[in-house]
Chains A and B, each alone.
Chain A
């Protein structure tokens, strides 16, 4: 394959600066484990606290990108030194979009939990668990699946 050759036309998906594509996936795995614990804790205050911690991580990721989260830092310091360099670098914007989706889902759970609807905590964690798990295991790209759906739902006639 001619993978080292840059695309001939101006590619619409040109990245600002590439990141190791394995980083967001490892991070998603760590996040999925935390969310699994939230599911096990159920509709409790402890579950709400841990979900809030995960949501705060998603907030970091939505602002700084997946490489700017605690999970990203763990990957960089503990995992990446043991791996061969990546075959290719990845655009940081798709993982950042996925962090934003995670923030919305877990954020709704935290807000409902704080409002007294504790049962929403394991459900929000469960939805986010499936998304993070799919990202970690098969490399699901949330931006690919959700961006156009969201754009289609926007009422403005584009």
Chain B
């Protein structure tokens, strides 16, 4: 059986497309965006059972068919436990579909970083690493300890 040259070209293009899409997808995962795509619609967080932290709140939108949601939840829960005044809440997209529409959420997990007043300050989509979670927190609250100049 001989392979047509066009089929070889097609496979080469597909491999290239996979590489480009893969690199683009991977670089987007967990990236912290400080300019949300939409205006904050003023969500009533208390009505959704989200208790705001004194300093910051991570609201994570998760789905059953989302593999990185659990790892991201562990990262954020760990951060919330270590940091005073920081809360983490996980909401199922099926139970909060109106919120998903309102906020223009397209993928899971999507993490909203809220400031002390519940205003969206940053946002991230895809699985988050501990370093990305820390960076997201830093966009809302300055570190408790001011960096001081090191002196001998």
Q: Note whether A and B form a binding pair.
A: yes
Chain A interface residues (CB < 8 Å from chain B)? 1-3, 5, 7-9, 11-13, 15, 21, 36, 39-42, 46, 88, 90-91, 93-97, 122, 126, 129-130, 133-134, 137-141, 143-145, 147-149, 151-152, 158
Q: Is the CB of B7 within 8 A of A144?
A: no
Contact present for B70 and A15 (CB under 8 Å): yes
User: Does B78 have its Cβ within 8 Å of any Cβ on chain A?
Assistant: yes
Q: Are B64 and A41 in contact (CB under 8 A)?
A: no
Give the dominant DSSP class at B's interface. Answer: helix
Residue numbers in B under 8 Å from A93 (CB-CB): 64-65
The answer for the CA separation of A143 and B26 in the assembled complex, in Å, is: 16
Describe A's contact surface by its main secondary structure: helix
Bound CA span A137–B16, Å: 13
**CB-nearest residue of chain B relative to A133?**
B18
Cα distance A148–B93 when bound, in Å?
A: 8
A134 touching B25, Cβ below 8 Å? yes
> A144, B108: Cβ atoms under 8 Å?
yes
Within B69-102, the residues touching A (CB, 8 Å) are 69-71, 73-75, 77-78, 81, 88-95, 97-98, 100-101
- Pair B78/A1 contact, Cβ less than 8 Å: yes
Residue of B nearest to A8 (CB): B77
Contact across chains for B75 and A144 when beta carbons are under 8 A apart: no
What are 12 A-B interface contacts by the 8 Å CB criterion? A5-B74, A7-B73, A7-B74, A9-B90, A13-B64, A94-B64, A133-B15, A134-B25, A141-B66, A141-B68, A148-B105, A148-B108
Docked-complex contact B100 and A148, CB < 8 angstroms: yes
Which of B89-127 touch A at CB < 8 Å? 89-95, 97-98, 100-101, 105-109, 126
Asked whether any CB of chain A lies closer than 8 Å to the CB of B150, the reply is: no
With beta carbons under 8 angstroms apart, the residue of A1, A41, A151 that contacts B7 is A41
Q: Shortest distance in angstroms between B89's beta carbon and chain A's nearest beta carbon?
A: 7
- Partner among B7, B70, B89 whose Cβ is within 8 Å of the Cβ of A91: B70
Q: Closest approach, in angstroms, between the C-beta of A113 and any C-beta of chain B?
A: 15
Q: In the bound complex, do residue B100 and residue A39 qualify as a contact, i.e. CB atoms below 8 Å apart?
A: no
Q: A137: which B residues are within 8 A, CB to CB?
A: 18, 22
Partner of B74, one of A1, A12, A94: A1
A1 to B11, CA, bound (A): 41
Given contacts A9-B89, A130-B17, A137-B22, contact A40 B70 (CB under 8 A): no
